[in-house]
Amino acid sequence: MDTSARARAIRLALFDVDGVLTDGRIYYGPDGEAMKAFHILDGHGLKMLARTGVATGLLSGRSSGATAVRARELGIAHVILGADDKLAHFERLRGELGLEASQCAFVGDDLPDIPVLARCGLAVAVANAVPEVKAVAHHVTAARGGEGAVREICELVMRAQGTLETAAGRHGARS
């Protein structure tokens, strides 16, 4: 099955955070607070995708106040942080939503993402993912994590589902 056909079936798009929504770097302030940089294009892509009826979520092995704030700001429906077993959390969430694995996409970059990538219907690796992740992915983005890769995948799904122009038009944006 090709990437476009897989993307047409997607009803839930999940994203790892560090290395996918960020460039993978974590900055620590003088009081030990962690700071991360998120790309504005990725955030807008997530908002557009959610408005088309595709549920969005974050599935991260790290707990992070910065990530929680960004998720609230974007209105991301499903946020799972500090997940030591990503596959178990994925299975629980898709079960709660009544979805088949084939209706779920996951975007990752590192070894802990492989079990979910191997199970979901659309497995995506960002351009800077480790080789093992790229090997199990159905699609590898042109953009690196934290540099528009999430927006690229949101648009890929919307384009496959025929909703990109409508979603972009709501915001006065071009595709």
The structure's pTM equals 0.93
Q: Which residues of the chain have pLDDT under 70?
A: 170-175
Tens digit of each residue's pLDDT (9 = 90 or more) over 121-152 = 999 999 999 999 999 999 999 999 999 999 99
Whether residue 65 contacts residue 82, with contact meaning beta carbons closer than 8 Å, is answered with no
| Domain formed by 3-169, architecture | 3-Layer(aba) Sandwich (3.40)
Q: What confidence score (pLDDT) does residue 31 get? A: 86
Whether residue 26 contacts residue 34, with contact meaning beta carbons closer than 8 Å, is answered with yes
